[in-house]
Structure 1
Amino acid sequence: MKAVVFPGQGAQRRGMGRELFDAYPELTDQASEILGYSLRTLCLDDPHRQLGRTEYTQPALFVVGALAHRQWRENTGDQPAFLAGHSLGEYCALHAAGAFDFATGLRLVQRRGALMAQARGGGMAAVVGVDAARLRELLDESGFLGLTVANDNAPEQQVVSGDTATVDALVAHLDARDVRCVRLNVSGAFHSPLMHQAQQDFARFVDGFALGDPATPVIANATARPYAPGRTARTLVDQIVQPVRWTESVHHLLDHGVTDFVELGGRVLGRLIDQIRSAPRPAARTETPAARTETPAARRDTPAALPDTPAAALGSPLFRRRMGVRHAYAVGGMYRGIASAEMVVRLGRNRMLGFLGTGGLPLPEIEQAVKEVQHGLADGRPYGVNVLADHDDPAAERALVELLMRHRVPVIEASAFMQMTPALVLYRARGLHRGADGRTLCDHRIMAKVSRPEVAEQFMAPAPGPVLDRLRRENALTDEQVELARTVPMSHDITVEADSGGHTDGGVATVMLPAMLTLRRQAQHRYGYDEPICMGLAGGLGTPAAVAAAFVLGADYVLTGSINQCTVESGMSTEVKDMLQDIGIADTAYAPAGDMFEFGAKVQVLRKGVFFPTRANKLFSLYSHYDGLDDIPQKTRSLLERTYFGRSLEEVWGDVCSYLRSQGRETDIDRADADPKQKMALVFRWYFFHTTRLAMDGDGSGKVNYQVQTGPALGAFNQWVDGTELASWRHRHVDRIGLMLLDGAAEHIATACRQWSASIGAPSV
């Protein structure tokens, strides 16, 4: 497997690019016109000795790297599996991957170089012979807390940044201890918090450009992982102040099968890569370079980076690259913030995908939670937000999508959708644009959760034409967005949801997933998509054996739900968590779904210790047998008021009317006044809202009415961890649970393969 890499500042030399300028005179002239001076003269002759100055060096290296890639591709016809660049070289890598065209890249680099050249009051020094971990210890022990390890170039080559006086003091300090430290001839403290002003200025400049996603994975300096969808601009802005994690980046490439590195535009990185390859790795990474800027309290709460394990090989590499995650694993967005901002951040910091739960929450609370997630994952780590279909109020669904687009949320989890709504189509199409190579790039991705074949087929198809036409007439979409939306599926990532907690059709995974995989093959053949559809599995995943079965069935990824409700990071009340940690696989039951009450849809809920399932099913039975509240026998009505609602049905109806008026839904009140059956449905729906709130608040006085949506997977998980410290939910963390399941699944598969090989006399694997 091959990776193409590009060097950064320091690779410049007089005479560079001669053969490239001769081979591509039109692009060379275009570059000179954009820059306002002769690039050929600068690189070949450098008459004014400007090539070593940042504002000239960076554009020159970008042009040479971009042209070198063009020539290499034309001469070899090769397509690398990965691209990467050191600092400035990352722009060459992104251009090569189609994230922006040549002119855009040059303008970005020209502005970046000018802003960095203007930085004053800071400096940098190279430290040789000390690895990054030891250097951080030296800085801390010696009181140089204001310095940043700006470049982790190789196991024994680091660069530090900071204010000029402190850097000078460090050079003298290390020299006295026989540690080689060389002051670099730069004007500023690059890749450190002292570049904050340059970062802010560059962010405003970048806002004027539409940057796409790389078509080939590009490893970001700031994260040492592939660029996440929809975050190209933000990651480039962050790069100015974030350290260059080159050693980690090369380790990531090696771990993903890269054996051949091709350096274009210089001869600097090959030596570093050789050093990284040959040096022993530390047993585990315990802190990311970015963590040095956090407070001690924040660092204690941040999970340590974990070493790669066999679990990282499970599932689809495409899914992992697309979502910017280490594992083919996700955590679903549980209702009313049970999948909390804390949960999503904890997962994201370990390169795992979590979806913020928004169902049932008002928009201001959702917006605040999104901001918390984005603040906690400011370095481009993965996250998503759940969007629950609103069958009663399409305007509310549209408002939520508009909010998520304003905040540039890159991925949503679409749940409980029966058809493609205008809001869903708007989100998908608004994120489509063409890359420099003409390919369709996606800034907005949808992970669809489905349990019915007919719904899956809609998500595998392009957006419905009539909905696209309507949005175009509203000027909500451009002609290009409508055109591109007809060429891609509504969702490239579809989660098949078998019997599970919450909304469920009670499907069987071993029946559903193979059938859905057949539908995927048919859709791929029918529509001829350039980018394949990935298919995941959810429902019943509470043990390593269950997760292993999902991958063996053909799942590209897995998504868990119920088991995460009983964790430290869950937004559920402690009273409910105490109940959930003790349930078994037979302690759940089915009840009507409050948001789809009239349709008879089902949710799976906690049965042990509560009356909710029995009472909810009784309400649906009454709804089915009577035409209105006045038809219910008085004895039954009194029982409902005394034990279910805790108030008269007239008082409940008053609460319902107040809520509907607050949402601008007076027409629903008018329809209910004219239709006793509809009024009864709205009153009964109040019970479902009330019981959820009781559980979320941990209101002990209403414990028997708690509605807790959960499935038997949690009971299986409880059985698996019985007798360990994880028997208590107070020791359960979402990232640790995910890794334990994946590690166990990998071992389960390996053991099964060994047993199978032995049984037929074949070589073991």
Structure 2
Amino acid sequence: MVAYLFPGQGSQQLGMGEGLFDDFAELAETADEILGYSVRTLCLEDPDQRLSLTQYTQPALYVVNALSYYRRVEESGRRPDAVAGHSLGEYNALLAADALDFATGLKLVKKRGELMAQARNGGMAAVLGMDEKEIRDLLQESGLDGIDVANLNAPAQTVISGLREDIERARPVFEKVGSCRYVVLNVSGAFHSRYMAGAQHEFAAHLDGFELRAPEIPVVANVTARRYRSDEVKETLAAQITSAVKWSETIRYLLGGGEEEFVEVGPGRVLTSLLRNIKRDAEPLVLDEEEDEATGPAVAAPAPQQPTLQQKPFASPGGAGRTAVVAEQLGSAGFRRDYGLRYACLVGAMYQGIASWELVAAAGRAGLLGFLGTGGLPPERVEADITRLKQKLTGGEPFGVNLVHDPHSPQREEQLVDLYLRHDVRTVEASAFIALTPALVRYRLTGLRRDESGQVIARNRVIAKVSRPEVATAFLSPAPAALVAELLAEGAITAAEAELARELPVAADLTCEADSGGHTDQGVSFSLVPTMLRLRDDLTARHGYTGRIRVGAAGGIGTPDAAAACFVMGADFVVTGSINQCTVEAGTSDLVKDLLQGIDIQDTGYAPAGDMFEYGARVQVLRRGVLFPARANKLYELYKNHESLDELDPATADQVQSRYFKKSFDEIYADIRSGLPPQEAERAEKDPKHRMALVFRWYFDHSTRQALAGSEEGRVDFQVHCGPALGSFNQWVKGTELEDWRHRHVGDINERLVREAAALLTRRLAALGTD
């Protein structure tokens, strides 16, 4: 059994390909046409000193590797039994397996090299003498969780990747370890890390224009260290840009599969040296009854409305081959690709900036999509936070911004949409909408265009949070014609955008929000998700959409068990909420976090929603240790049963003013009246019941401000939106370092949640039918 190994960037050398360009002159000519320059001159002479530049190195290595492969096949008269390539070399492995042809591979590599060359402010370092676990533990302990493991080249040779400043900060940390060597590499990008998410997203879109085939011989992927799945070639190639290169495990997998001879095909002997170290320091990875992933999935294909759980073989304790679920491939591969994510996991927005820009940035660096919490914030604060986010996320990491429906102030929605369009915010989480509004539709339609193939391309994505079928139907349908016509007449959209609006839904994707913190209809995921999946399929067929609308699950997700259940139901992604409020990055007070850290699943309750007080909407809030839910519910009952403040009996009026508000009704109304728009102020003067609503709503704003500020004297009135998911999370991490919120970081806890969900699914699959 012979395996061919193809080297990647770092193996280039002046003079590589000597003799090959003459022997394969036609292919060399094809390469020159694709690249726009002479690859022979670049490799043999390099007159302009470009061979070491990523955008030139990668195509040159691909060509030389390919020609070296063709030469070896000619000389040996046989093809290998299996192939693998290190990073860039994986394209040559796919070429050898006939998954792509020479020209296609070179076009892809050319684009890949160009995208990676654009990476700035990143760095990489080789760590010698430590294993992966030791490195990860040291990074975590040192507060360097912004650094990723990029290449697992050998048991004691690992490359880490991150922002340049973090890589430099890590140097003294590793140098303190006596047995370790730390070598900073001469690169400008944080390759194979979360910081390449932007490049991954653009490359995935580029991949869509090519036809790739199922490999004819086993190709072991960098991402999984397992055989390529026949139906996931594009997804796996795209994921490679941000994922670690699991080279050591790749070789162990090949050794365990029976490969006895390894041949490095291409310039240099880097892989041959690594092979020697791996054989010396590690055992073959033997998998009994291994399932052949090159011919399809290891489990029955799911129904059309369900995402595929991407899988790989693993060795169970009993020795039988089972199905292991990979965290990075849970949910919809297309969703991860379109949004540039490592995990199909979103961090939902929390109002008043609790989902702070720091929290959203941390989520993006971890390969998650976080949404800035803009509800209740003035536009100037929102703009400042978006600016900070863009300054922090310089590597194309994903982020989104929340747009909360404001029935009292349509102009605020318009201001925010103006701001989002001005700052080129491409992804918005739409929440609390009970109907479509002109501002939301304008955001979605702005920038619509048709590509060369005739497909409608949307610049702006809306991920709509819904809990009712009628609201979901509105979001899953094209924008209402009357609303589109109104926007066109106002000059808010162009005629072309109005015409294309008929061909796509208002929401790019949909989040089913079950019972959760904040606004909630108290839905149940097990009823809500399947219903929305069927509704999605029905409306997709009715309107003839060509793209797939992904459906995610939110509400109650605080443990791996809950996340796993959502994926099994068919969710394309999951959205966490309450658990993120009790993290270091959350924009609320330490006092609130101290309260939240100790709650259990029974410590939340329901109260009226301050922003939709008159409508009877409800929010789920913290109940333990505070009086807010009881007092808020009392205020709503008074509002329902009375027409004005003057109708309240004296004892009740005194209780509310002295104990709840600690201010008189007149003082409160005087405070808020000055800030009311003229029309609203006039209405309040004429309508005593509306004036009562305004005064009562003041308490909700006041209770939120008290909580955010951490006011000890106002503690009993804290309004803290929270669901039981945090209680279940607290129980899950009890007795670990995460029991203290000061050790909870949003990227870490969500990554752990998804990884443990994958491990849980693996165990459950292995246990099926055993008892």
Q: TM-score range by the shorter chain?
A: 0.5 to 0.7
C-alpha spacing 1:381/1:633, structure 2 compared with 1 (3 Å):
same
Deviations 1:292-317 (Å, cap 9, x if unpaired)? xxxxxxxxxxxxxxxx9832232222
| Shift in alpha-carbon separation, 1:271–1:537, aligned structure 2, 3 A | farther
The 3 A distance-change label for structure 1 pair 637 and 132 is closer
Provide, for residues 109-145 of structure 1, a one-character-per-residue CA deviation record: whole Å limited to 9, x for no partner: 8xx99xx9xxxxxxxxxx9x99999xx9xxxxxxxxx
Task: Identify the match of residue 214 of structure 1 among 201, 205, 208.
Answer: 205
CA contact (8 A) 2:328 2:342 kept: yes
Tell me which amino acid in the other structure corresponds to 1:347. A
Q: Where does residue 482 of structure 1 map in the other structure?
A: 498
Q: By how many angstroms is 1:728 displaced?
A: 1.8
Matched-pair contact (CA < 8 Å) for 1:563–1:717 = yes
Residue 721 of structure 2 corresponds to which residue in structure 1? 709
Question: 416-425 vs 8-17, which deviates more?
Answer: 8-17
Give distance in 2, aligned partners of 1:459 and 1:652. Answer: 39
Give the Cα separation in 2 of the matches to 1:526 and 1:435. 23
Counting only pairs closer than 5 Å after superposition, residues 653-692 of structure 1 correspond to structure 2 as: 653-660=669-676, 665-692=677-704
The alpha-carbon deviation at position 16 of structure 1 amounts to 12
Residue 750 of structure 1: aligned partner = 762
Shift of residue 608, structure 1, vs aligned partner: 1.2
Please tell me whether residue 320 in structure 1 is matched to residue 336 in structure 2: yes
Q: Closer, same or farther in 2 for the Cα pair 1:722/1:213, shift >3 Å?
A: closer
1:643 corresponds to 2:643: no
User: In the alignment, is residue 578 of structure 1 matched against residue 594 of structure 2?
Assistant: yes
Q: Whole-Å Cα distance in 1 between the matches of residues 529 and 7 of structure 2?
A: 39
Q: Deviations over 1:242-272 (max 9, x none)?
A: xx979957979999x9xxxxxxxxx979999
Residue 438 and residue 278 in structure 1: after superposition, are their counterparts in 2 closer, same or farther (change >3 A)?
farther
2:675 aligned counterpart, secondary structure: helix
What residue is the counterpart of 1:76 in the other structure? none
Task: Report the Cα distance in structure 1 between the residues aligned to 2:278 and 2:547, rounded to whole angstroms.
Answer: 37
Amino acid at match of 1:746: A
Give the structure 1 partner of residue 123 of structure 2.
none
Residues 17 and 699 (structure 1), Cα distance of their counterparts in 2 relative to 1, 3 Å cut: farther
Instruction: Check the 8 A contact 1:433/1:484 in 2, yes or no.
Output: yes
Q: Report the 3-state secondary structure (helix = DSSP H, G, I; strand = E; otherwise coil) of the residue aligned with 1:693.
A: helix
Give SS of 2:327's match. helix
1:736-747 aligned at under 5 Å gives the runs 736-747=748-759
**Is the Cα–Cα contact under 8 Å of residues 154 and 275 in structure 1 kept in the other structure?**
no
Give the one of 737, 742, 746 matched to 1:730: 742
- In the TM superposition, residue 276 of structure 1 has moved relative to its aligned partner by 8.9
Which residue of the partner structure matches residue 452 of structure 1? 468
Q: 1:268 and 1:465 mapped to 2: Cα distance?
A: 59
Q: How does 1:2-13 map to 2 (within 5 A)?
A: none
Aligned pair count reads 605
Q: Distance in 1 between matches of 2:208 and 2:408?
A: 41
Please give the alpha-carbon distance, in whole angstroms, between the structure 2 residues aligned to 1:45 and 1:349: 40
Tell me the percent identity: 42
* Paired residues of 1:581 and 1:728 also in contact (CA < 8 A): yes
Counterpart CA distance in 1 for 2:718 and 2:496 is: 49
Residue identity in the other structure for 2:205: P
Separation in 2, partners of 1:343, 1:536: 21
SS in 1 for 2:530: helix
Pairwise CA distance, 1:429: 1.7
Give the conservation status (yes or no) of the 8 Å contact 1:212–1:442.
Answer: no
Q: How far apart are 1:7 and its partner, in Å?
A: 9.7
* 1:442 counterpart (452, 458, 462): 458
Q: Distance in 2 between matches of 1:344 and 1:311?
A: 21
Shift in alpha-carbon separation, 1:18–1:579, aligned structure 2, 3 A? same
Give the AA of the match of 1:748: L
Once the 2 structures are TM-superposed, how far is the Cα of residue 321 of structure 1 from its aligned partner? 1.3
Q: 2:439 & 2:23 partners in 1: Cα distance?
A: 52
Query: Which residue pairs with 1:537 in the alignment?
Result: 553
- Rounded to whole Å, the distance in 1 between the matches of 2:338 and 2:494 is 25
- Does 380-389 or 742-751 show the bigger shift? 742-751
1:470 partner SS: helix
SS at match of 1:758: coil
Q: Which residue of 2 aligns with 1:175?
A: none
Q: CA deviation at 1:610?
A: 1.3
1:461-481, Cα deviation, whole Å (9 max, x unpaired): 222222222223333323333
Question: 1:405: how far off?
Answer: 2.0
Query: Mind listing any 5+ residue stretches in structure 2 that lack a counterpart?
Result: 1-5, 64-86, 93-100, 102-106, 121-125, 136-149, 160-185, 191-201, 211-221, 224-239, 254-264, 283-323
1:374 aligns with 2:390: yes
> Contact between 2:325 and 2:762, CA under 8 Å: does it hold in 1?
no
1:246 and 1:536, CA in 2 relative to 1: closer, same or farther beyond 3 A? Answer: closer
- Root-mean-square deviation over aligned CA pairs: 5.5
Change in Cα spacing, 1:17 to 1:476, as seen in structure 2 (3 Å) is farther
Change (3 A) 1:734 1:190: closer
Distance in 1 (CA, whole Å) between partners of 2:546 and 2:682 is 50
Q: 1:481 to 1:673 in 2, by over 3 A?
A: same
Distance (Å, rounded) in 2 between the aligned partners of 1:555 and 1:19:
49
Q: Which residue of 2 is the match for residue 359 of structure 1? A: 375
Q: Give a deviation string over 1:517-551, Cα, whole Å, max 9, x none.
A: 11011022112322211111111111222222111
Any conservation in 2 of the 1:152–1:245 contact (CA below 8 Å)? Answer: no
Q: Would you say the 8 A contact 2:515–2:523 is kept in 1?
A: yes
2:712 maps to what in 1? 700
1:618-664 deviation line (CA, Å, top 9, x unaligned): 1111111111222222222222111111111111111211222xxxx
| 2:610 aligned residue | 594
Q: Aligned partners of 2:692, 2:340: CA distance in 1, in Å?
A: 47
* 1:198 aligned residue: none
Q: Give SS of 2:551's match.
A: strand
**C-alpha displacement at 1:431, in angstroms?**
4.0
- Kindly state the Cα deviation for residue 6 of structure 1 after the two structures are TM-superposed: 12
1:425 aligns with 2:441: yes
Equivalent residue, structure 1, for 2:217: none
CA contact (8 A) 1:153 1:245 kept: no
| Deviations 1:421-470, CA, capped at 9 Å, x for gaps | 12211222224333444433333222111111111111112222222222
The 1:605–1:60 alpha-carbon spacing in structure 2 relative to 1, beyond 3 Å, is closer
Checking the alignment, whether the CA contact within 8 Å between 2:7 and 2:271 is kept in structure 1 is no
SS of the residue aligned with 2:443? helix
Q: How is 1:544-623 mapped onto 2 (pairs within 5 angstroms)?
A: 544-623=560-639
